Amino acid sequence: MRYALLLFMLVPVVELFVLIEVGSQIGGLATVLLVFLTAAIGVTLIRKQGIDAAFKAQEKLQRGQIPAVEIAEGFMLVFAGLCLLIPGFVTDSIGALMLISPLRKVVASGVALSFLKKRMNMKPAWDNTGFNGSTSAHSAPIDGEYSKEQNDTIEKK
């Protein structure tokens, strides 16, 4: 949480510094127009790539496969969109990096793979094995008979 607060305070300061530096080099109006241009181009690219990722995920679902990489790519595209909509060149650069499809696929496949590994190693609560994978004595099945009796009387205390 401490890092999020630091990031929340540091990003606007860095963005303002870069905007002032770029504005002093190319002019204020050109800087503002460049920020709007990067946002418009970014939103257009994200819309196209997001639709492509959704279609790929749908195809995988129809084949009975888990679209983990496509879901991770979708989250990365949403984050890239947010970065591109925030005015500034640093966040625009981060968003543009996430729009590079091969780079995004590598990162998304790594994230999806680590997530799936964590989920696959978890044992369900009804599993008969202990934490180390061996069957413990108290989790073994118990032989016995079971019968259900109907009791119509209700005892009152």
Of 17-21, 95-99, 119-123, which gets the smallest average pLDDT?
Answer: 119-123
pLDDT reading at 70 higher than 70: yes
User: Whole-model pTM above 0.85?
Assistant: no
> With contact defined as beta carbons under 8 Å apart, do 14 and 93 qualify?
no
Q: Is 135 helix (H, G, I), strand (E, B) or coil?
A: strand
Q: Which residue ranges make up each domain of the chain?
A: 10-123
Average pLDDT along the chain: 80
Residue in the structure block whose two tokens are 């008969």: 128
Task: Compute the distance between CA of residue 70 and CA of residue 60 in angstroms, rounded to an integer.
Answer: 9
Secondary structure (DSSP) of 18-80: HHHHHHHHH-HHHHHHHHHHHHHHHHHHHHHHHHHHHHHHHHHHHTT---HHHHHHHHHHHHH
Give the residue-averaged pLDDT of 98-120.
79
The more confident residue out of 37 and 116 is: 37
Chain CA centroid to CA 124, Å: 24
Three-point CA angle 106, 107, 113, nearest 5°: 90
